[in-house]
Chains A and B, each alone.
Chain A
Amino acid sequence: MSVRYLLRGAAPLGDEPTDVLLADGVVSALGADAAQAADDEDVVVLDATGLVLLPGLVDLHTHLREPGREDAETVRSGTRAAALGGYTAVHAMANTSPVADTAGVVEQVWRLGRDAGWVDVHPVGAVTVGLAGERLAELAAMADSAARVRVFSDDGKCVDDPVVMRRALEYVKAFDGVVAQHAQEPRLTENAQMHEGVVSAELGLAGWPAVAEEAIIARDCLLAEHVGSRLHVLHVSTAGSVEIVRWAKSRGIDVTAEATPHHLGLTDDEARGYDPLFKVNPPLRTAADVEALRAGLADGTIDTVGTDHAPHSREDKDCEWAAAAFGMTGLETALSVVQATMVDTGRMTWADVARVMSVTPARIGRVADQGRPIAVGEPANLVLVDPRARRVVEPRRASQSENNPFRGRELPGRVVATFLRGRATVLDGRSVDATTEEV
């Protein structure tokens, strides 16, 4: 029998503190019923006074790099980072080598995740063969595989051919899938290095115009409406995109949208030092865009926060800007950035955080046992957060890569414990290896 945990005085969703008992993989009791177990021999009591209890976070947008770039991240290292960040499920993007465009590759990633045991790994299937944007991958085979893929994306590349995008939107309806689009008009962004605007003009770096994202989002919303499909827009980064999504929702189009922590927290001014740490796709935008994203997240136009955790080896970042890879890590800091930008600023409650970082991502990804209410009988996928803690971000902890744009900065909030089906993957802020924790 596994260890039972009694969380004393935890505040579910930031509400009134109560006691929460985790046993047999579920929330087995709350309040006085839970407190009764305090003296039982097999119960580990955790003082959760002042801590917020949230459903375990669910990331719809993680690059685990395996197979292919195990020098930057592995399923094991990336999912351990995820657990430290408060996650209990991640969706592993398809741009691996080989590309996750067959049932074989998605099952491999799924098994690696299961063997690692830190979080549930849900592989994302590529929309097109080899991410080439030309013909659909065998989407149904991936959906029917052991990995049960429901989210399909060519992330890193845009499905820019309108006919291919239309077919994908239609085809995944057969298995309740969703196409998650990386919105980037390729011709408008050839060789693009950063947001096109005042800073790019000064720095002489080729610009990535906002319209290249907005035009694709507008097109895809209209396509989704036309064929009656659902659409998920990854890493929305511009004020115009927020407006388009808001308009699409007002028309009843079944669209959901994601913002990343870095687009909520950083602007294109970071590029001024030419440090490739801040090179990312889509690029960091202006302060006005950041404000629009925060407003959109607060009012529900933006549905989810996804990390776009994109580890890169040191040699891919320790070079001049143009030669560097796009991307930043984020699993270990996402919750802190959301707290800093949305909660501590009074724009969102912890219940809202649970909605955008757990409940809605799980719903979009059709993950039944994640993002659940904190109630008796529900799966014990949970995270305990200390919102009063402050910490200076280390370049890396569990991730194999150190390209976190917030490194060296002080952020609020600390993940104290993470539970995956009642088993602690993180305790006292440190990861707990599955092989040693089980009794």
Chain B
Amino acid sequence: MRHLLSAADLSRDEAVQILDTAAQMAATQSREIKKLPTLRGRTVINLFFEDSTRTRISFETAAKRLSADVINFSAKGSSVSKGESLKDTALTLAAMGADAVVIRHQSSGAPHTLAHAGWTGCAVVNAGDGTHQHPTQALLDAYTLRRHLAGPGDVAGRDLAGLHVAIVGDVLHSRVARSNVQLLTTLGARVTLVAPPTLVPVGVHTWPCEVSYHLDDVLAGGPDAVMMLRVQRERMAGGGGGFFPSPLEYTRGYGLDARRVATLPEHAIVMHPGPMNRGLEISADAADGPRAVIVEQVANGVAVRMAVLYLLLAGGGATRPTSPDDETRIPA
């Protein structure tokens, strides 16, 4: 694994290896001294062209816990058409000797271009591009699902075979949904997308999942997890707008509230990638209730991103297991 650009790039074994590595990373994070020397002397640049507090902090924390030097480069507002181009930014970062670039960009495909245009030799991690992909979000979601639902016992080496996950909401604008459909099905789970027809992309019939317009019907089927998507009002101005008549009507049809949570199987968990529109796609009762693992998703995000940075920069390839005498190995 040279870059992490899309969940579609990961095989089942590679994905499981990342989850297993993340579990080892997570184990180190319960210690008093959380910092590992693994990436000492390496430089990771967080290149964020789009607002994101939680993802940037998560990557920053992950890199720092691995002792990497972290540079945050917030290019928000430096619009590509008016300010510095992505190419010049990339050349600048390469000149500074970065080992990895974590990029978030409003344009779908920008990380792909950064990785393949020949502008830089850095490892590129996609931290969310437009409405395309957000692979580390899918990995942390898979990690969270596996921890809760793949048991009993040690889940290391396991995938998500047999689990049924409902992904609910603004699928059209969601890179989280695209990444999760690919990764969760790679790991053996069954995925059902639930959304009003206006928020389902044309072409979805080729995706390896089912699509429903009726949340209550899907919940009645007893999914093991319900993943709520954020209604991305900031992206809805494009494409003509008017995707649903009113927030109230959306909430009635597709919002997760206490009543709907109560219909879930006992073991089912409620997820949300954040930031949440409380009262729109998820009620406070559902978000803060005992089924919700939303805060845990954030914590797992750090472990998963540690694993990704480790495997990209120190692991020498995701398919090669770390040997016990590797000086950069994770302390047991």
Residue positions of A touching B, CB distance < 8 A: 187-188, 190-191, 193, 196-207, 209, 273-274, 315, 318-323
4 interchain residue pairs of minimum CB distance: A204-B132, A201-B203, A274-B109, A322-B107
Interface residues on B, range: 20 to 34
When C-beta atoms are compared, the residue in chain B nearest to A209 turns out to be: B202
Query: Quick one: CB contact mask for B91-134 with A, threshold 8 Å, 1 for yes?
Result: 00000000000000111111011001100000000000111110
Min CB gap B313→A, angstroms? 24
Cα(A209)–Cα(B86), bound, Å: 28
B108 touches A322 (CB 8 A): yes
B246 interfacial contact with A, CB 8 Å = no
* Chain A residues with CB under 8 A of B178: 202, 204
Residue positions of B touching A, CB distance < 8 A: 80-81, 85-87, 105-110, 112-113, 116-117, 129-133, 175, 178, 201-207, 238-240
B109 touches A320 (CB 8 A): yes
Cβ-Cβ contact count across A and B, 8 Å cutoff: 90
B87 touches A322 (CB 8 A): no
A203 touches B108 (CB 8 A): yes
* Chain A residues with CB under 8 A of B132: 203-205
* Chain A residues with CB under 8 A of B85: 315, 319, 323
Query: Would you list 12 pairs from A and B whose C-beta atoms are within 8 A, ordered by A residue?
Result: A187-B240, A196-B202, A201-B201, A201-B207, A203-B109, A203-B132, A204-B129, A204-B131, A274-B108, A274-B109, A319-B113, A321-B108
* Chain B residues with CB under 8 A of A321: 107-110, 113
* Chain A residues with CB under 8 A of B81: 323
A204 touches B108 (CB 8 A): yes
When C-beta atoms are compared, the residue in chain A nearest to B110 turns out to be: A320
When C-beta atoms are compared, the residue in chain A nearest to B119 turns out to be: A318
Min CB gap A200→B, angstroms? 6
B133 touches A201 (CB 8 A): no
* Chain B residues with CB under 8 A of A187: 240
B203 touches A191 (CB 8 A): no
When C-beta atoms are compared, the residue in chain A nearest to B81 turns out to be: A323
A319 touches B86 (CB 8 A): yes
Cα(A322)–Cα(B85), bound, Å: 12
Min CB gap B18→A, angstroms? 22
Please give 6 more A-B residue pairs, beta carbons under 8 A apart, in addition to A204-B175, A273-B116, A322-B109. Answer: A190-B239, A203-B108, A206-B239, A320-B80, A321-B110, A322-B107
Min CB gap A234→B, angstroms? 23
* Chain B residues with CB under 8 A of A273: 112, 116
B201 touches A318 (CB 8 A): no
* Chain A residues with CB under 8 A of B203: 196-202, 207
Cα(A205)–Cα(B130), bound, Å: 8
* Chain B residues with CB under 8 A of A202: 178, 203, 206-207
* Chain A residues with CB under 8 A of B201: 200-201, 207
Min CB gap A278→B, angstroms? 12
